[in-house]
Chain A
Amino acid sequence: MARIVVDPVTRIEGHLRIEAEVNGGAVTDAWSSGTMFRGIELILKGRDPREAWVWTQRICGVCTTVHALTSVRAVEDALGIEVPENANLIRNIIGSSQYVQDHVIHFYHLHALDWVDVTLALKADPAKTSQLAESISPWPKSSKNYFKAIQDKVKALVESKQLSLFSSGYWGHPAYHLPPEANLLAVAHYIEALEFQKDYIRIHAVLGGKNPHLQTYLVGGMSTSMDPDEPGATINPERITFLTELAAKAQAFVDQVYVPDVLAVAAFYRDWFGHGEGLGNFLSYGDYPQGGVKDPARFYLQRGAIFGHDLSKVHPVDPANVSEYVTHSWYEYGDGDQNGKNPYQGETKPQYTGPKPPFEHLDVDKKYSWLKAPRYQDHPMEVGPLSRMLVAYASGHPDVKPVVDAVLAKLNAPATALFSTLGRIAARAIEAKVMAGQVVKWVAELGDKLGHGDLRVHNGEKWDPDTWPKQAQGWGFHEAPRGSLGHWVEIEDQKIKNYQCVVPTTWNAGPRDGKGQRGAYEAALLKTPVADPERPVEILRTVHSFDPCLACAVHVVDARGRKYTPVTVR
């Protein structure tokens, strides 16, 4: 028996440690430990709730807008504020375009190297790569010369030793089995995806005033000005045209590059429909209101929960049933650590009892993570694109169901195959396709509103704190790209009294709870094959399939032992 430690898990955003017990070439038990303490709650106490979103959007180093949206919704819920339809529409466009952006980046830049061997791409025949590309998609960049040029570029990069982006793959590992041509195709699209993401996110720059860290959120709506006759307005006819172009380009990229690539890669790795199954419990708060946040029945993506792999029944979801355990987390609760607490009663009191670094293993019988363990009705739940797509599929979503069925048919797999590592990857691509289409529709809708002179983006009735009750509490939610995100706020005397965030990666990467039930990663890693314990690429495949994001990234460049020049200032 060997205990494998992967720390840090690379090509994720943030810091995660996995310990896995391996017997007879497969994982027999696993523990997931978030190694950074999240203290945003402590920073927010005593602040004006109307500015909480400005701080919360700094929690995350990647999808900066998701916490901003969730925060304004929490405060709006507490104060009973309904936002105008236009504000919902703008928020929907920002959120759905974030899905497209993040899912593309995840597949190509964070996950592809678990499946694609860059070094093999150098051995590919560009002519054959061109044939392969043309057989799976009408995408125009598919000539032999194009792939030859990409190959030369990568060669130059390898020779210059600037491999950073590609440096954490386990090249030559027997678990890689794409032919060289497929590897070259994937590398070419890796580079095209870089280009794609740099253009597409300008949607956020327009609607958010700036990107990163959008600044147009507002408790009560948005501050995005709309005016058909004002060239200086954030949203005017010219801007609608620009957004429409970006949305259409993205739709083409997803349909003609991302989805065909996922299908092509998946066809070589069909065995991964049989690995990484996980909990079988799926949660989605639902999102994309089409009539207000209080009307989940009209959300574009449904709210619901699935238990025990049972796709025949979608259960209703009530945030009162969410609780967080700290039995195995480095926190303490005032009344003992055995029971969970709803976030309204949540406490964030750090209490590190783990070993002093450097150490070999965590003491997993005790506390072993900086993440709490969230539960729904005391069940551990998986969140993310797979959960959303399963809830939508099981609810008969008119846009999602046909795409899921088409993908399953193409891969000759039953719906139950989606409970897997490959299922998560497929679900993310399906969601990107569906949501890229929604961005197009919602931008058109916004253009219509503008044309009809419906320009209201903010409800200022309760902006003045003197209109607030002495005490109030509220729940804000968002289905962020990585899954269900909730903020719970308690307001007293116009100030924040308590603030708790339960983030997607806490659901997925959290540790065991008071009953010893595993978290989503821990469960998904069970039975994962490991050919070579020294190079556990299989473990990375399953963990990366969740798109880990341990929020609260710190950006210190580690340059110890490197050459640098001290600077003095005269």
Chain B
Amino acid sequence: MRAATAKTVVLGLGNILHGDDGAGAQAISRLRADPRVPTDVSLVEGGTLGLELLPHVWDCSRLIVIDAVDVGEPAGTLVRMSGEELNSLPGNSTVHQLGVSDLLVALRMLAERQPEVVLLGVQPLSTDWSCELSPPVAAATDFLVEATLRELQPLAEPNVVDANS
């Protein structure tokens, strides 16, 4: 049931001082200026926080997370993960241990009903110290914004196309 209490949160993650890691934050600032974002959607720029973001997401019915995701693809590649694909993510070798996956588990423990969670990610080129995105990731940010907007359309057609099709 979504009814009156439905709440959608778009959460952009990443460190704006670390090059492509700032893609999530960039996407949020672009979405803030975009009139196509429904007014009841809450846009949150979460930096590199994990559990500390609970106050923003604990009562949402849909959560769209935007982050740099290392999948070993060419820089700028966009990926979408949802449902079981998000279980126990990320692995033990992650730098930021209490990160997005812990947030999702905390949600499972606290929330009355489980939100629908989607992760939209972009493959980074470099996360060295810099306030700028690399050219391929900067270019991909346009698509990241479009992909997010499509997630926000309630009856959108699936925006996922099989890589082979």
Chain A residues within CB distance 8 Å of chain B: 8, 10-15, 36-37, 39-40, 42-43, 55, 58-59, 61-62, 64, 105, 109-110, 153, 157, 160-165, 167-168, 191, 194-195, 197-199, 201-202, 205, 211-213, 552-569
If A61-B47, A554-B48, A554-B95 touch, whether A567 touches B88 (CB-CB below 8 Å) is no
CA distance A162 to B50 in the complex (A): 16
If A8-B95, A555-B68 touch, whether A55 touches B58 (CB-CB below 8 Å) is no
Whether the pair B51, A555 counts as a contact (CB closer than 8 A) is no
Which chain A positions have C-beta within 8 A of B102?
164-165
Interface locus among B1-9, B33-41, B116-124: B116-124
The one of A8, A37, A165 that contacts B93, using a Cβ cutoff of 8 Å: A8
CA distance A12 to B45 in the complex (A): 22
A11-B98, A554-B14, A556-B127 known; 10 new pairs, CB 8 Å cut-off, are A62-B52, A161-B87, A164-B102, A164-B105, A552-B15, A552-B17, A557-B99, A562-B81, A568-B161, A569-B78
The one of A43, A105, A212, A554 that contacts B46, using a Cβ cutoff of 8 Å: A212
CA distance A447 to B143 in the complex (A): 48
CA distance A459 to B163 in the complex (A): 58
Which chain A positions have C-beta within 8 A of B14?
554-556
CA distance A103 to B147 in the complex (A): 39
**Which B residue sits closest to A35, measured CB to CB?**
B95
Whether the pair A39, B129 counts as a contact (CB closer than 8 A) is yes
B110 → chain A, closest Cβ, in Å?
A: 6
Whether the pair B69, A556 counts as a contact (CB closer than 8 A) is yes
A559 → chain B, closest Cβ, in Å?
A: 5
CA distance A563 to B86 in the complex (A): 9
CA distance A556 to B93 in the complex (A): 11
Which chain A positions have C-beta within 8 A of B99?
555, 557
Task: Give how many A-B residue pairs fall within 8 Å (CB-CB).
Answer: 211
CA distance A552 to B149 in the complex (A): 30
Whether the pair A559, B79 counts as a contact (CB closer than 8 A) is yes
Which chain A positions have C-beta within 8 A of B87?
160-162
Which chain B positions have C-beta within 8 A of A162?
87-88, 104-105, 108
Which chain B positions have C-beta within 8 A of A563?
81, 85
Q: Which chain B residues in 21-72 approach chain A with CB under 8 Å?
A: 21, 24, 45-55, 58, 67-72
Q: Which chain B residues in 113-165 approach chain A with CB under 8 Å?
A: 119-121, 124, 127-131, 143, 146-147, 159-163
Whether the pair A165, B69 counts as a contact (CB closer than 8 A) is no
Which chain A positions have C-beta within 8 A of B89?
164, 557, 559, 562
Query: Which secondary structure dominates chain A's binding surface?
Result: loop
Whether the pair B47, A157 counts as a contact (CB closer than 8 A) is no
CA distance A566 to B21 in the complex (A): 19
Whether the pair B109, A557 counts as a contact (CB closer than 8 A) is no
CA distance A565 to B163 in the complex (A): 8
Which chain A positions have C-beta within 8 A of B162?
565
**Which A residue sits closest to B72, measured CB to CB?**
A560
Whether the pair A558, B70 counts as a contact (CB closer than 8 A) is yes
If A194-B54, A554-B15, A556-B21 touch, whether A61 touches B48 (CB-CB below 8 Å) is yes
Whether the pair B147, A562 counts as a contact (CB closer than 8 A) is no
CA distance A195 to B80 in the complex (A): 29
**Which A residue sits closest to B146, measured CB to CB?**
A569
Whether the pair A569, B105 counts as a contact (CB closer than 8 A) is no
The one of A8, A40, A163 that contacts B17, using a Cβ cutoff of 8 Å: A40
Whether the pair A8, B97 counts as a contact (CB closer than 8 A) is yes
Whether the pair B51, A567 counts as a contact (CB closer than 8 A) is no
Which chain A positions have C-beta within 8 A of B129?
37, 39-40, 42-43
Whether the pair A567, B55 counts as a contact (CB closer than 8 A) is no
**Which B residue sits closest to A168, measured CB to CB?**
B92
Whether the pair B147, A198 counts as a contact (CB closer than 8 A) is no
Whether the pair B49, A61 counts as a contact (CB closer than 8 A) is yes
The one of B21, B106, B160 that contacts A165, using a Cβ cutoff of 8 Å: B106
CA distance A569 to B93 in the complex (A): 31
Nearest first, the 4 A-B pairs at minimum CB distance are: A61-B48, A39-B129, A198-B54, A567-B78
**Which A residue sits closest to B160, measured CB to CB?**
A565
Whether the pair B52, A558 counts as a contact (CB closer than 8 A) is no
The answer to the question of B10 belonging to the interface, with a C-beta cut-off of 8 Å to chain A, is no
Whether the pair A164, B101 counts as a contact (CB closer than 8 A) is yes
Which chain B positions have C-beta within 8 A of A42?
129
